[in-house]
Amino acid sequence: MAKQVSASLRDAREMLGTVGKNIDNTQQPGARALDTSIKISPVGKNGAYRTSVVTTRRDDPLKTKVLFSSTSSASKTQTKSVSLSFLQEAIGTATGLQKSVLVGAVGDFIAQSKYLPAIGDVSMKKAFVAKGVALADALNNATDKVNNLRLDADTDLKNGLVSLNTSLKQLYLLNQNIAISRSPQNLYDNRDRLIGEISQKLEVQAYYGHNGIANLMIKGSGHELVSATSRAEFSYAGTKSSELLTGGKIPEITITKVATEGGRDRIVSAPTAIVGGTDNPSLQGMKGGQIEGWLNLRDVELPLAGDAVKSLAAAVAKAVNGVHNNGSPYPPKTSFRGSKPVF
């Protein structure tokens, strides 16, 4: 009888602990409530019984899957939006809600050029030259903005992969605790939080094994990220600014399989390329999240914007040269005489 009373008190204490955990988690985003119940199992044939606490977690696998996918998609969109919003200030678009510096400089230059026929008015010519200088500055500033944003995207990519490696290792170590835990449900909130962090970086598929161990793969490419026995580790050296801005070599991103044993990391498989860089640009094994956003900005969106600025600069130069050539004889005179002011 004393043993049964002791067991009942132990079970009651465990159930109260679960209630306390639920209360603590009310302010934690994404936390799931735990339910507990007493399980009674007969022991032998003389009426003895054994009690145990059964803990279950309120969860909806479909909603969780949608949450991780939505996190990845939203992170990718936000990454692009933040960077392109800075670019909007310098370049702008036809449907932009604000007048960009560059668009304003072009408009002012064209408006001032209409006064050029007033040949005798020196102030008009000075104003025209001033608008031309302002336009040249705006073009240079737009080019600098594009270049700086490309460099920022590459730096963010490198730092983001370091952060991703940290989250992958934490989830891998948590998997080892889940595997041996008597109450693995108490670890699921932390597990899902880590998967959410990973989903911000790229889109993943999650499968759950023994005791709720998380197995993660990159959606689309199928590369394994975390399992019960190993984890992925990404490596990227970053691109030199001189290489990135002059069409030089962009290094690849590699993935290595690593296991941790006795507190020490052990390489399970040699590094293999997952994003090809300059040597293999078609290899794009990391989709979704901030990583795809940074790659897209660095390699597609911002280079296109830079090309647009260069095209505009070339068109303006051609137009100005045309105006100048229309007022100059050919072949040019070797000398000029007169008292008209020249600036």
Residue 284: DSSP 8-state:
B
CB 269 within 8 A of CB 183: no
Among residues 102, 132, 101, the alpha carbon closest in space to that of 116 is found at: 132
Asked if the bond preceding 271 is cis, omega within 30° of 0, the reply is: no
More confident residue, 14 or 233: 233
Q: Determine the angle formed by the axes of helices 188-201 and 61-90, rounding to 10 degrees.
A: 30
For residue 343, is pLDDT > 50? no
Residue 328: DSSP 8-state:
S
Q: Which amino acid is at 341?
A: P
Q: Rounded distance, CA 165 to CA 173, Å? A: 12
- Mind giving me the DSSP string for 97-145? SS--HHHHHHHHHHHHHTTTT-TT-HHHHHHHHHHHHHHHHHHHHHHHH
Task: Convert the pLDDT of each residue in 169-210 to its tens digit.
Answer: 999 999 999 999 888 888 988 999 999 999 999 999 999 998
What's residue 94's pLDDT? 46
Chain position carrying tokens 């909806």: 60
Q: Rounded distance, CA 165 to CA 178, Å? A: 20
What pTM value is reported for the model? 0.73
The torsion angle over the Cα atoms of residues 189, 194, 196 and 200, rounded to 10 degrees, is: 170
The listed range with the strongest mean pLDDT (38-47, 103-112, 235-244) is 235-244
For residue 105, is pLDDT > 70? yes
For the segment 7-31, the average pLDDT, to the nearest whole number, is 57
Query: Which token pair is 217?
Result: 């793969």
